[in-house]
């Protein structure tokens, strides 16, 4: 299980996971931060980027803010490195 800190950018022009911003992974989503829409979009984008099911991604901290901590079941630090290096 991988635990990562993310910085969410809601209402972006396109969905994008990465690059790192400081010590956080930047996740841009097109959804607005209303009624949990951005959280659902973040979970979907991260699951797709890591190649896991949406149910394998959970927000463990920061449900209502832009800075969140996610747990990704079935992902590893090597998968994060591969994602960041575009391989």
The mean pLDDT value for 25-44 works out to 95
Model confidence pTM above 0.85: yes
pLDDT tens profile 48-76: 999 999 999 999 999 999 999 999 998 88
- Retrieve residue 58's tokens: 């959970």
Q: How many CB atoms lie within 10 A of CB 28?
A: 19
Q: Give the per-residue SS3 of 47-81.
A: HHHHCCCHHHEEEEECCCCCEEEEEECCCCHHHHH
Q: Is the pLDDT of residue 26 over 60?
A: yes
Fold of 2-84: Conserved Hypothetical Protein Mth637; Chain: A; (3.30.1200)
Virtual torsion, Cα 40, 45, 49, 53, nearest 10 deg: 30
Residues pairing with 5 in the sheet:
69
pLDDT band of 87, cuts 50, 70, 90: very low
pLDDT tens profile 72-85: 998 888 888 888 88
């Amino acid at each position: 299980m991988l635990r990562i800190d993310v910085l969410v950018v809601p209402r972006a022009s396109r969905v994008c996971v990465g690059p790192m911003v400081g010590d956080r992974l930047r996740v841009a989503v097109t959804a607005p931060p209303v009624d949990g829409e951005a959280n659902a979009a973040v979970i979907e984008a991260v699951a797709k980027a890591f190649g896991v099911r949406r149910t394998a991604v959970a927000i463990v901290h920061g449900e209502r803010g832009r800075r969140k901590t996610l747990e990704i079941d079935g992902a590893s630090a090597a998968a994060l490195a591969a994602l960041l290096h575009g391989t």
